[in-house]
Amino acid sequence: LRTPSLLPSSLTLLSMEEVHGDEPLPAASPPLEVSVSESSTEDFHRSKSNDVEDLSGEVQSEAREEDSPEALEVGLVSERSDLTPTHLHTIYKLANKFRAKVKSTRNDKNDPLHLSHLGQNKPGKFLKVAKQLDSLQRLSDAPVGLKNAGATCYLNALLQSLFVNPEFRQGVFNYVADPNSIIRQLQVTFAALQCSTSSHYDPTPLIQKMEIATSVQQDAQEFYKVFISFLEEKFKKLSSPPSTNLISQLYEGQQEYVTTCGKCAIASKRPSNFYEIEMSVKGARTLDQCLYQYIAAESLDGNNQYKCNNCGLQDAERRISLTSLPPVLHFQLLRYTFDVKTGSRKKDHTRLYFPLRLDMSAFTELESPSNSLYQLSAVLIHIGQHAGSGHYIAHVRNAKTGEWWKLNDAQVTKLDITSDVYVPKLDSEVVLNEGDENEKDEDFSKNPTPKKKSKSRGKKKVTSYDKYSVEGYFHSKQAYMLCYTRITNDDVVEPTLPAYLQESVGLMNISFQANQAKREREHAEQVALYSSHIENARKYSELLAAQSGDSGYWAPTQWLRDWFSGKLLVPGKSRSLEMVPHLCVHSCLSPKSVREVKRISTECFRFFSDHFGSDVEVSGEMLCSECVYFIYKGEHALQIEEARKQGILSQIDIGVGNDGDWWVAKKWLALYKRMSLEQVKEADDKVNSGLFCEHDEPAANYTSRAWAVSNEVWGMLIKDFPEALSLPQDRKACSTCSKSTTQARKLKSAHKKKIKETKSNLNYLLNRNKHQLVLYPNRSDIYYLVPFSWKKDLVRWVNEETETEPGTIDTSSFFCEHDLAKFDPLPMILDEKPEATEPSYPSNSLFTIVPLAEWQYLVTRYKLKGSDLAVDIDSDGEPTLTRVICDECQPKFKENQEQSTIVYANSLLHLSVHFRSRRATRTRGKEHNRLKQLTISGVSSSDTLITLKMRVFEETDISPALQSLFVDGVELTGPNSSLFELKVKTTTQILVKENDFDVEEIWEIPEEHGSGVGFGDSLLLRGESSGPEEKAAEGWNCNECTYLNSSSHLACSMCQTAKPALRSSLKRSRSDIEDSADHERDVSSKRRRKSVAHEED
């Protein structure tokens, strides 16, 4: 060994003389001089050249032989003197038969001399080194991006749209903020966006200061409202007037709700201010159409009449009048809708055209038209097909240069204005001819691929578009917020930074430049390392194979793969050549490791060892003859064992039927056929253990599970399995087990006969589940009452669910302590239509009735404990009870039964579900309702009404908001009331009515993601000075009426809408949902109408 100090103390390199002792080795096997012949090496190089070119022009394949020595036909080895070099070459896969003669595409792990496809074709793939370092330097005319902190794309997009306004930015810079406040972090963020030399900035300090969860995506429109409200509150606390009114001066506008009486024509006006205009995109194709819908008059009539001060309730018209517009005009496009039929939100993908220059004079009552012209400055876009997921980006316009930029978090790219996203003017053909509305359009900077695109057709630049122009229209199906800035003649002035912000940004830029220089140095080092590795990989790939006369060294295959791929050059991944795990106990290469190592040249091994080190050097000659000898010797023993086994099995197969002297279990023979001798001994070395009973005697009928073999076969089995249990052919089975088997067979036959007799004599009792007399053919008879619990036991025994036959019929529960009947069964027995009326108590748990013939059979067979109770029906149909009813005990019994129907647990409730609308069937133009009977199990009287509605929803898919439950014509109200409080009994028949779909689909702010708390836990709502004790009261707000409910309530106490956590589970199949287009309305106007009517009334 070259480095013996690295070997474990238990491993010692032995010479062949030390291994074999005094016994001389055969002359053909000199000590440690086993080497690959020159012919083998030449064959290997020849096969390697065949990988490059196939001279014959066709691929020739040769079936690879098995790894066993017999398959290689090198001869068995019973003594050490039989061992030859060929045996060693065979075990170590160095024989000629292992040379591949086909063009291979991967490395052959069965061939230690096959050295191609170890990663030479793609050297250094783990060294992820870019040819050119991605520059993080900000371009001179490009804006700065914002890094996404997790799920904060909505925040980044909104901050970018606010930043492009120079007046707002200057106002933020002028604010004298506390160093630990949110405003200070906003100042630092805006300062970095304006003066940073980096291509992007990380707004994490601002997000952490606001205490916003970075793992939960929120709605951008909601964040805008919360953020602007927070800033306005902060600026109002300033002493200087210009800064105090910054938010209202830039974003606040005025409007009036004008209501005109239809009788006296007197208009009532109520002023209101706004910071954004919320508009529905439903039914509109352009921004102008959205605005016309926003200010359009709506009629107040019917149940929604207007109460005039002069005329009382009258029909009227109501509209919105924009009286004052702010310098910065925000439009929020309501694309999210909540569908009460599905209990989920959806997104409207209507394509909307919005102008670069907007003239608001047609929509306002302003005296000065010059204040009505606006320039589009920012567009906030929600990319995604669904309301619950997606991504936010911003498209902004540089106020000084007029260029448009796309800001996708940290990625900043200039917008490519093409005809697919921009039109110079609008006409009816452009607006109406839109193609497929389902066309994927992520944002208006991406160009959808035409369905049929000719060679001459493609994305064309719009020559009429000028980046300094304000004409034309953008269009998008994903635009979510639009920001317009009033056009003025004033020059755009870049905001100035206070000294402390200039210093802060200066330090950031210095730190960035230092990090940039460090990145460049590291990249240069990586490039040099990569280039050096590629050169070495190419060089030593050609020198990898050991040439003639070079015995070479063994190296792990995986190590060679890792070196060629460059993985060993990655910091922390470097390791030495580890060959100790591949050595045998004789300190030579273990035959078991042949598939895990390769023999390489001495020159390559020296290079690898000098640069990475090695724990032990194993030359190509270190093949262990001792291990090879034991392999062949064990193989020889296995072959002898297999031959012996096949001989035994062949003799067993010759036997026919029970012709033999000894019994052998069939299951054991199956194991013996498919397992080795050692495996069979571990599984069952007693052979016939499965044929003996608990009395250590042959089991009853054991011969059907055994095979008869001859004396010769049994003698051979005994040699291999000395613990085998002998079972001669003439040995009789266990007498005890035989008797038990016979008796069990007789008892089973008698049991079946008894059940058959019972079924034939109790036909009506076993086949009738109800107690009504109408179910029996002979009305004129005597009918006896049988306890229902006893009948259940009888049915279980007849159905063989239990082996215990019911005992004596106990009718004592029918009688009181005065030996009189507790109740009157006649009303229930004579009830022709039990579903029409409600019985006075749950009779199905008390009794069932049988005719006279079956009663006589029951009494004769099972006996009677107590007295009988019967109803005698004469020929005229007049019933007579055979026992007198106790007037004292009957009311008490009835009261107890009534109580059991009110206080219950894990009981059944019976409901009739009345489907309407989309579930109804139509015949000849008439609508017919569908009625379905439903039984719900596991109900308790402590369950609430909303819980019961949720159970109904699980069975019928009817949303709880659309359910009305009735008992005796009275609707159950109070979603949080218990069934006990509502007096719902187990005998009550509940009617579930599905309401018609006349509920409007509600436009709303998207429901909160994640935990459903929105920005409630952030400092934007709690205030920076508030402590934990000042958090909002526990509870939840209804999304329908905004009522604050207790956290324990599962539905709104005002409108009975399900709790949001429950509502999110109300998923409905699309095939079950009727088209709701006719029912969708603009709810923004609905909310305005309700709020104004409430105030005026």
Mean pLDDT of the chain: 75
Q: What does the pLDDT read at residue 162?
A: 94
pLDDT in tens, 919-971: 433 333 444 456 788 888 888 888 988 889 888 888 887 878 778 899 888 88
On the question of pLDDT at 449 being above 80, the answer is no
As to burial, measured by CB atoms within 10 angstroms (0-12 exposed, 13-18 middle, 19+ buried), residue 767 is exposed
pLDDT in tens, 399-410: 888 889 999 999
Residue in the block written with tokens 């020929």: 875
CA distance 855 to 869: 11
As to burial, measured by CB atoms within 10 angstroms (0-12 exposed, 13-18 middle, 19+ buried), residue 139 is exposed
pLDDT in tens, 689-713: 888 888 888 888 888 888 888 888 8
CA distance 316 to 298: 8
CA distance 497 to 172: 10
pLDDT in tens, 1064-1079: 333 333 333 333 333 3
Residues in a beta bridge with 482: 331, 379
Classified as helix, coil or strand, 595 is helix
Classified as helix, coil or strand, 914 is strand
Q: What does the pLDDT read at residue 458?
A: 44
Q: What does the pLDDT read at residue 732?
A: 86
What DSSP state is assigned to residue 1005? S
On the question of pLDDT at 212 being above 80, the answer is yes
On the question of pLDDT at 220 being above 70, the answer is yes
Question: Which comes out higher in pLDDT, residue 391 or 52?
Answer: 391
Comparing 296-310, 554-568, 905-919, the range with the smallest average pLDDT is 905-919
Mean pLDDT to the nearest integer, 842-858? 77
Tokens representing residue 587 in the block: 């300190």
Q: What does the pLDDT read at residue 395?
A: 93
CB 983 within 8 A of CB 965: no
Q: Which amino acid type is present at position 780?
A: S
On the question of pLDDT at 824 being above 90, the answer is no
Q: Which amino acid type is present at position 359?
A: D
Residues with Cβ within 8 Å of residue 76, at least 6 apart in sequence? 69, 70, 82, 632, 635, 636, 639
On the question of pLDDT at 901 being above 60, the answer is yes
Q: What does the pLDDT read at residue 885?
A: 86
Mean pLDDT to the nearest integer, 194-198? 92
Q: What does the pLDDT read at residue 604?
A: 94
pLDDT band at 25 (very low <50, low <70, confident <90, very high): very low
As to burial, measured by CB atoms within 10 angstroms (0-12 exposed, 13-18 middle, 19+ buried), residue 554 is buried
Tokens representing residue 784 in the block: 């006896």
Q: What does the pLDDT read at residue 878?
A: 78
On the question of pLDDT at 861 being above 60, the answer is yes
CB 911 within 8 A of CB 936: yes
Sequence length of the chain is: 1097
Comparing 51-65, 526-540, 882-896, the range with the smallest average pLDDT is 51-65
CA distance 811 to 865: 6
Helices 711-720, 625-654: inter-axial angle, 10-degree rounding: 150
On the question of pLDDT at 661 being above 60, the answer is yes
CA distance 79 to 632: 9
Classified as helix, coil or strand, 484 is strand
Residue 556 is inside which H or E element, if any?
Answer: strand 553-556
CA distance 236 to 238: 5
pLDDT band at 158 (very low <50, low <70, confident <90, very high): very high
Question: Which comes out higher in pLDDT, residue 327 or 338?
Answer: 327
CA distance 266 to 264: 5
The separation between CA 609 and the C-alpha centre of its own chain, rounded to angstroms, equals 50
CB 103 within 8 A of CB 58: no
Residues in a beta bridge with 926: 923
Radius of gyration of the chain (CA): 46
Q: What does the pLDDT read at residue 507?
A: 94
On the question of pLDDT at 147 being above 50, the answer is yes
CB 779 within 8 A of CB 877: yes
Q: Which amino acid type is present at position 271?
A: P
Is the pTM of the predicted complex or chain greater than 0.85? no
Instruction: Compute the half-sphere exposure of residue 141: CA atoms within 13 Å on the CB side of its CA.
Output: 11
Question: Which comes out higher in pLDDT, residue 893 or 186?
Answer: 186
In the chain the first and final C-alpha atoms are separated, in Å, by 104
Tokens representing residue 375 in the block: 């320039």
Kindly report the number of other CB atoms within 10 A of residue 253's CB atom: 21
Sign of CA dihedral 482, 483, 486, 488: negative
